[in-house]
Amino acid sequence: MRPSVAILLASALFSAASPAGAQSDAVQVSRSGRGAYEASLAPHPRGFAIAWHDTRHGLPEIHARLVDGSGRPVSQEYRLTTGAGRSYEPSLAVSRPSVSDDLVVGWYEVAADDSTSFAKVGAWTADGAPLWERTLSDPRRHGRATVVAAADDRIQCVWIEEARESESDGSRRPAADDPRTPAEGEPSAAIWAQQLDLDGEPVGAARRIADASRTTWNLNLRVDAEGVPWVAFDAQLGTRASELFVARLGRDRVALHRLSADDGASSVYPDLAFGAGRAAVTWWDTRDGNAEVYLAVVDEEELPHGIEPVAARVSDTAGESLGAYIAWNGARFGLAWSDESEPGRPHEVYFQQFTAAGIPVRAPRRLTDNPTASLIPAIRAAGSRFALAWNEDNVNARGDHRSGGRSEVLFALVP
């Protein structure tokens, strides 16, 4: 793309995400000129760190940038991955914000020949210098959907491994004494977890924590008030459709719980957050005949018993509502999602605040209103406000998953 065209595209995306009456302080974080997608957001000593995958160099690679508390960029854009494969879907954490500003990023990489994929994790300084990198998944299986979280002086990593076709049909399996060998009749996909120290060295072996399904595409990882990691995901495991699950990763044992009822309607892409002694879960669901965002808030200790009695529908539009994420801020939390208000219209970012009891503070607010699609908002607390990062996708220039289309990452503060 010629520089002048790239600048015009970036300017158009920036202007489109800041319409009159919507969020006016949106800041363009990426200057891809191509495609910047799947923003991940984490608090950082300098303000916030934002990571995404970007096709500006021809293939998807992980990029990152730091912004201050107002969203003003305070670093250059850093290209974190430079391999021959394609890198997607970063999950971002700061190892110990009180003493370190290093970035820890999980992602997955598709081999250059498309033969397999790998779950990866690495660390970089705040200036983008590489510190270490590790492949988490078994090379004999497809790895994907890596998520990371800081837990005291350790890094919790969780990812999905899936049998290659030749393994799942029994024609080529790992050795029988390999701990990752699936038993006969087990699902061909599973969720794995491992803790690393801050230098990227394993603290114990990787462990299989839950079955998954080939339709399990998304994991979300949160740490509770006691420092225990939890994983939220969806899977179709003995149910008529995909349902919601959480796994509590205790030091000695993993406790797996199904949260949603087996009602035949897909419940997918859950996010989980802890605060004020409560657990908030959001997801999108088709139980009412349309993809809508739902929310459930329970006491933290009640989460393993399910959420159906308190599940409530948040969105109510003719189009699909998806990509919902939660962040606590003291005794309240914010919920952000993407909504296609009318079928065929570009998605826009919506936001709503709730009390710790799950009661709306005010009606949902539409933050964007533009011809580009505002997708998959990440959300974190920011003082008395909330910080959001998302991508603005040019729907008229969409490409495939390999080359991408035209998209940029933006940041905004929401009161």
Q: What is the mean pLDDT of residues 189-201?
A: 97
Per-residue pLDDT, 152: 82
Q: How far is CA 208 from CA 100, 188, 232, in A?
A: 30, 12, 15
DSSP 351-400: EEEEETTS-BSS--EE---SSSEEEEEEEEEETTEEEEEEEEE-GGG---
Quick check: 188 pLDDT over 90?
no
SS3 category, 405 = coil
Q: What number of other Cβ atoms are within 10 A of residue 43's Cβ? A: 16
Per-residue pLDDT, 166: 47
* Top-level class of domain 27-166+181-414: mainly beta
Distance from chain centroid for Cα 381: 16
Q: How far is CA 135 from CA 30, 84, 162, in A?
A: 27, 15, 15
Q: What is the mean pLDDT of residues 122-138?
A: 97
Q: Between 2 and 406, whose confidence is greater?
A: 406
Q: What is the mean pLDDT of residues 405-413?
A: 96
Q: What is the mean pLDDT of residues 355-375?
A: 97
CA distance 49 to 43: 6
Per-residue pLDDT, 397: 79
Quick check: 191 pLDDT over 60?
yes
CA distance 75 to 61: 18
Per-residue pLDDT, 95: 81
Residue 275 near residue 356, CB atoms below 8 Å: yes
pLDDT tens, residue by residue, 66-106: 999 999 999 999 999 999 999 999 999 998 766 779 999 99
Select from 283, 343, 272, 345 the least CA-distant residue to 314: 283
Per-residue pLDDT, 162: 96
Position 186 confidence tier, pLDDT thresholds 50, 70, 90: low
Per-residue pLDDT, 193: 99
Give the domain ranges of the chain: 27-166+181-414
Position 168 confidence tier, pLDDT thresholds 50, 70, 90: very low
Contacts of 20 (CB under 8 A, 6+ apart): none
Per-residue pLDDT, 181: 43
Q: What is the mean pLDDT of residues 252-280?
A: 97
For the chain, give the mean pLDDT: 89
Q: What is the mean pLDDT of residues 261-266?
A: 96
Position 405 confidence tier, pLDDT thresholds 50, 70, 90: confident
Residue 379 near residue 325, CB atoms below 8 Å: yes
Position 395 confidence tier, pLDDT thresholds 50, 70, 90: confident
